[in-house]
């Protein structure tokens, strides 16, 4: 049972409520689809002024309650901005995107979530606040490993996406219908200079409970000449060892085949080969 619904206007008031055990609610799309199972007080975080997008010379700063529609409609700089918009458009449909927040998409931590995959490819970091403590910044890669730094009174307040010249991105996703959850998601990013790849990121979503970087593939491609063959080889070498958790959606073998095909395509896009 939802015992109370708080709507604070100040971050400090919200953090105090979370410390007392209230659960944050942002777009509510994740929480309310299973609302009957909740037994807590809720604290709505959408009136705290965390819905702003700020662009500086070297980063895009997204408040935690920025919605996917806000991202799609915003004027965002660089390949990073274009990539964020593209990924946001992949997630469900317009009325849902009007509600889903970037913070909620990370914190909801369902295995199919798209934004964590994108944020790993972007080298993003998240800011976490807790009552009575200074805010901390955590790399998204660390935040997605082990126990989550949000929850238990901690709130994601901001997502920071660094702008790096020359980075390009690729994103591939297989789902039954366009609006459906992904069976597999693959993202990649890199800079290519004189035909050689650097800062390679290869990310998979929907294979494990949390999105993860395929560091084997990354190090295989890092610093090397990039071609369709080198991409196919690096992906193929890692294919049999890709950790894939069984789920109700499709068999592990099928998802392995899909994952390798999508990774090849995403890496080729990031390398400018497609």
Ligand X SMILES: Cc1cc2nc3c(=O)[nH]c(=O)nc-3n(C[C@H](O)[C@H](O)[C@H](O)COP(=O)(O)OP(=O)(O)OC[C@H]3O[C@@H](n4cnc5c(N)ncnc54)[C@H](O)[C@@H]3O)c2cc1C
The binding site for another protein (CB under 8 A) comprises 1-5, 7, 25, 28-29, 32-33, 35, 38, 42, 44, 46, 92-96, 98-99, 178-179
Q: Is 171 exposed, middle or buried (0-12, 13-18, 19+ CB in 10 A)?
A: buried
Q: How far is the CB of 36 from another protein (least distance, A)?
A: 9
Residue 101 interacting partner from ligand X, another protein, none (CB closer than 5 to 8 Å by kind): ligand X
Among 17, 62, 84, 113, which residue interacts with ligand X (rule: CB under 6 A)? Answer: 113
Give phi and psi for 166, each to the nearest 5. Answer: 90, -5
| 25 is an interface residue for ligand X by CB under 6 A | yes
Residue 114 interacting partner from ligand X, another protein, none (CB closer than 5 to 8 Å by kind): ligand X
Q: Whose Cβ is closer to another protein: residue 92's or residue 215's?
A: 92
Residues 211-270, interacting with ligand X (CB under 6 A): none
- The three-point CA angle 110-115-119 to 5° equals 125
Q: How far is the CB of 5 from another protein (least distance, A)?
A: 4
Among 64, 163, 238, 259, which residue interacts with ligand X (rule: CB under 6 A)? Answer: 64
Among 22, 155, 217, 234, which residue interacts with ligand X (rule: CB under 6 A)? Answer: 155
Q: Whose Cβ is closer to ligand X: residue 155's or residue 238's?
A: 155
Residue 155 interacting partner from ligand X, another protein, none (CB closer than 5 to 8 Å by kind): ligand X
Residue 26 interacting partner from another protein, ligand X, none (CB closer than 5 to 8 Å by kind): ligand X
- Provide the binding-site residues for ligand X, judged by CB under 6 A: 23-31, 33, 45, 64, 91-92, 96, 99-101, 103-105, 107-108, 110, 112-115, 150, 155-156, 181-182
């Amino acid at each position: 049972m939802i015992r109370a619904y708080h709507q604070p206007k100040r971050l400090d008031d919200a953090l105090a409520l979370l410390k007392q055990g209230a659960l944050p609610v942002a777009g509510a799309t994740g929480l309310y689809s299973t609302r009957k199972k909740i037994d807590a007080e809720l604290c709505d975080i959408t009136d705290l002024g965390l819905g702003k997008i700020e662009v500086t010379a070297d980063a895009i700063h997204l408040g935690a309650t920025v919605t996917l529609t806000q991202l799609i409609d915003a004027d965002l700089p660089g390949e990073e901005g274009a990539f964020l918009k593209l990924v946001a458009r992949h997630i469900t449909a317009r009325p849902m995107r009007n509600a889903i927040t970037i913070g909620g998409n990370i914190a909801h931590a369902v295995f199919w979530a798209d934004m964590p995959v994108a944020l790993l490819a972007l080298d993003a970091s998240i800011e976490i606040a807790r009552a009575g403590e200074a805010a901390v910044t955590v790399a998204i890669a660390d935040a997605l490993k082990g126990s989550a730094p949000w929850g238990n009174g901690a709130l994601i307040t901001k997502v920071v996406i660094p702008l790096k010249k020359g980075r390009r991105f690729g994103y591939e996703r297989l789902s039954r219908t366009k609006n459906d959850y992904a069976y597999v998601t693959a993202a990649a990013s890199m800079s290519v200079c004189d035909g050689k790849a650097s800062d390679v990121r290869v990310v998979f979503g929907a294979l494990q409970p949390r999105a993860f970087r395929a560091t084997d593939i990354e190090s295989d491609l890092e610093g090397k000449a990039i071609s369709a063959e080198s991409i196919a080889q690096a992906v193929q070498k890692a294919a049999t060892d890709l950790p894939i958790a069984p789920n109700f959606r499709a068999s592990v073998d099928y998802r392995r085949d899909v994952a390798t095909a999508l990774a090849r395509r995403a890496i080729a896009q990031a390398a400018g080969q497609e």
